[in-house]
Chain A
Amino acid sequence: MTASPPRPGERLLAGYVGLVLLFLALPVLIVIPLAFSTDASLIFPPRGFSLKWFANILERPEFASAFRVSATVAVVATSISLVVGTLAALAFVRYRFPGRDTLLLVFMTPLIFPAIVLAAALALVLSPLGLLRSIAGLVCAHVVLTLPYMLRTAIATLSEIDRSLEEAAQTLGANRWRTFRHVTLPLLRPGLLAGITFSLIISFDEFTVSMFLVGPGLMTLPLEMYNYSEFTLDPTLAAISTILLGLTTIAIVVIEKLVGLGRQFS
């Protein structure tokens, strides 16, 4: 980098980029000071510092229960997506079979379809199966939603792995399973970790589809927060958001340190 003074055009560009970043981040960042506010209404800037809204979360068991539901669904759905996505990626990258392109498109449709269509469809399918208002039903739906992310990162990583590495392992005495275990999987790990992160976030955050599947006694955290906001709009929501923001940030930083998340978007 040269240290020459920026030209007017560069300054303009820097200003523009700064504004865009501010626009993207501001609503999220404003939540944090609100969470520590003393006011019962959402006033910015807050007039004092308190932790009472965090305490309020603990006093309301429905939040803890909704968090448990969301976390359970996210972890179980992600685990299923991980296995299914990895196996599907192996098939898509390693083999050429009739209908391959069509099938890949089918796997990817949840990314393109309007969420509301998917929500209605899933409700109609899960209802006769008796899976409405059940954890199992939510998990089924979330597998559909998270699979494309898992599949995409797994396919991207797998395509980068030189086939001759697996062949080399085989000539050295490793059977298919040991080749996968000792060569393919370690090389696939960064991509899978990124896929897991996306999948957990997508599932935990999901709103539209879950709304059709939940009911009294079974709420996900985003829906519980929405319900709460219909009656009371106080900084409790900001406090929950701040916690979620913190958890997400930690997850992304850890993954970035481990494998470099940025690569997944290139």
Chain B
Amino acid sequence: MVDQIRGEPVGVELTRVAKSYGAVPAVRGVSLAIEPGEIVSLLGPSGCGKTTTLRIVAGLERPDAGEIRIGRALVNTLPPWKRNIGMVFQSYALFPHMTVAENVAFGLRMRGVAGATMDQEVAAALAQVRLGGFGERRPSELSGGQRQRVALARAIVTRPSVLLLDEPLAALDRQLRESMQIEIREIQRAVGITAIFVTHDQEEALTLSDRVVVMEDGRIVQSGTPAEIYERPRTRFVSDFVGFSNVLDGRVAEGGRELGTVTLTAGRLVPVSLAPDIAPGDEVDVVVRPEKVWVAAAHEAVPTAGHAFPGTITHSVYMGALTYHHVAVEGVGRVVAMVPNVEPATSGTLAVGSAVLVGWRPESALAFRRNDPGARAAS
């Protein structure tokens, strides 16, 4: 059994874990250390190995190679029922032949907890997910969000060492998903449990995690705080997967250190921040996030010194809190800039057709070598 003092979170450590299905590798050498009490997300497109990794931690899949530790214990050969974990499945996997209370009590019963103690703990867990009084219902009588909360209560009632969540919110609609994100986070903090969750939704990963682990093709490509992942993506794949970006292609003019310049195919020389291993002459894609691009009416003062490119607004998308301006910039191409609507958007200084200046800080424009395997998939 995984030794654990009740309420004392433990860490999880994966060392060079690999798993193939037949000839198809699913996980290729994943090493990852998760601190006690930390909530970590495994983020990536479908087929990147994130779910397999989670299932290996749960003991539902046996790795071909590598070590898995929960706390200090090596659990490689330990079956799931001896790992003291709690897991929330994408389909919730609530037992249809049991009531809500029986579902939540299942883990306690398996641990020999019974009678009044069991009833008390079940009631407390249901109260924690705001489902007090729902104990006698059947799962089929609940809404998606309620089922999700029952699954969560069932997973935490046994005070597991680690909470594993497999795309827990994928089946919920947007509004419910956002409130559940906050709720999961609060419960995780209140219980003080180590948690790993799998998601393909970058927003969910950023809001819910202490640390985001981006996976591609069975490997970890980057691991860091949400801000690190978002602001300093290490590869083009990570950049594309986490948020929408402008992509401008060109050739490195000046490099060799962190900041340099790139001559864009469209003609202009722009300041950029270079990924390591990039040298002058390399073909690159320059990636700039819309919110890092400033736009000013042509006659206004430029917000930062240097690099300001004249352009014309061709198209604006008003989103309420903010507006996306599409700007045709000579020698650069089309650049999308996100502008928070501090002034009323109706004031008209940034109307379609008006001449503007756009620019960005050199460290906000990241140059990645072209043909980086990552596709320009998600936004």
- A positions within 8 Å CB-CB of B: 162, 164-165, 167-175, 178, 182-183, 186-187
Contact = CB atoms under 8 A, between A and B. Distances in A.
A178 B84 CA distance: 16
Interface in B75-92: 79-81, 83-87, 89-91
A168 B81 contact: no
A170 B155 CA distance: 12
B110 A168 contact: no
B287 to A, nearest CB: 38
B95 A171 contact: no
Contact of B93 (A164, A178, A186, A187): A164
A178 B110 contact: yes
B81 A171 contact: yes
B295 to A, nearest CB: 49
B93 A165 contact: yes
B96 A174 contact: no
Contacts, number: 64
B60 A170 contact: yes
Contacts of B93: 162, 164-165, 167-168
Nearest to B154: A172
Given A162-B91, A167-B89, A172 B107 contact: yes
Contacts of A178: 110
Nearest to A163: B93
A171 B111 contact: no
Given A182-B106, A187-B97, A170 B91 contact: no
B317 to A, nearest CB: 40
B56 interface: no
Interface of B: 58-60, 79-81, 83-87, 89-91, 93-97, 106-107, 110-111, 154-155, 158, 164
Tell me the interface secondary structure of chain A in the complex: helix
12 contacts: A162-B93, A164-B89, A165-B96, A171-B85, A171-B164, A172-B86, A173-B110, A174-B110, A175-B79, A178-B110, A183-B95, A186-B97
A235 B59 CA distance: 66
Nearest to A175: B81
Contacts of B86: 171-172
A183 B81 CA distance: 14
Contact of A171 (B60, B91, B97): B60
Nearest to B83: A171
Contact of A174 (B81, B89, B91, B154): B81
Contacts of B79: 170, 175
A168 B155 CA distance: 9
B87 to A, nearest CB: 4
Contacts of B96: 165, 187
Given A165-B95, A167-B87, 19 more contacts: A164-B90, A165-B96, A168-B93, A169-B106, A171-B58, A171-B80, A171-B83, A171-B85, A171-B86, A172-B81, A172-B107, A172-B110, A172-B154, A173-B81, A173-B111, A174-B110, A178-B110, A186-B97, A187-B97
A170 B107 CA distance: 9
- The CB with the most chain B CB atoms within 10 A, among A172, A175, A178, is that of A172
A178 B85 CA distance: 17
